[in-house]
Amino acid sequence: MAVITISRQYGSGGDEIVDQVCNLLGYRRFDKQLLVQAAREAGLSELEITDYSEENYKVANFMERLFNRNRSSGTARKTTGRLNGEPVLTDATAFALVNKAIEAAYKIGNIVIVGRGGQIVLKDHSNVLHIRIEAPLETRLMRVRAELRQNDPGDILLDERRRAQDLITARDGASTEYLSAHFGVDWSDPSLYHVVLNTDKLPLELAAQFIVAMVRTMEPSSQYTTTDKPAREKKHKLK
């Protein structure tokens, strides 16, 4: 069972690629909204999140809701939208919760982890593919401006470019700050990833198919453990 972590610049088409990869592979998508929704439905308080253990029955319930074990992947994806009344967590409790949930997602497998430092938390784990999705600023501005027009079709956006640029700066800045503050790494460092995809040069559909092809090369090796896999094949196992 493979796991994919995807880091994406805002406006790079990363979310569209994630959706296509999930559809092509039948994987589930793990992101912040799903995490918070599951925590809220499980009735976790900030104190309980800090005391995060498998023995806590609420945590077990949280994990069941988080990965929607009794639901189809299509239903699970619908829970990832913007939620009303999301619980406000402190930075420390949310960070601990996310890291534990990422580790749990790895054990379950067949999931795409979007952002939240998955490439760092799982950097030494086997059968994980770390992908970064980028595009030049002008390409991303064009995509974000198109999205703004689509979301506000009746409005005349006099400063559309500035709005798009502010969104890109804010979103990418938050991701940069999160990885720097919590892990001490540069979010854009290519050495954190197996592959960096430029969607200005690569159509989104082809980028998704490329990721799927890489994952499928990993599948035959997933039946082995690191102890019983023949030495001559270990070099093919992603870490």
Write down the domain spans for the chain: 3-136+196-236
For residues 83-112, average pLDDT: 72
- Among residues 37, 220, 11, which one has the least CA distance to residue 135? 11
Would you place residue 196 in the very low, low, confident or very high pLDDT band (cuts 50, 70, 90)?
Answer: very high
For residues 129-144, average pLDDT: 95
Query: What pLDDT, on a 0 to 100 scale, did the predictor assign at position 44?
Result: 66
> How far is Cα 206 from Cα 194, in angstroms, rounded to an integer?
17
Candidates 3.30.70, 3.40.50, 3.40.1350, 3.40.190; CATH matching 3-136+196-236 = 3.40.50
Could you give the count of Cα atoms lying within 13 Å of 147 in the half-sphere of its Cβ? 17
Strands 3-8 and 111-114: parallel
- The three-state secondary structure class of 203 is coil
Q: What is the pLDDT of residues 158-174, one digit of tens each?
A: 688 888 999 999 999 98
Strands 128-134 and 28-30: unpaired
Strands 195-198 and 28-30: unpaired
The residue to which tokens 């409005």 are assigned: 155
Would you place residue 48 in the very low, low, confident or very high pLDDT band (cuts 50, 70, 90)?
Answer: low
pTM over 0.85: no
Query: What pLDDT, on a 0 to 100 scale, did the predictor assign at position 149?
Result: 82
Query: What pLDDT, on a 0 to 100 scale, did the predictor assign at position 150?
Result: 80
Q: Give the C-alpha distances (Å, rounded to integers) separating 34 from 133, 167, 192.
A: 21, 22, 25
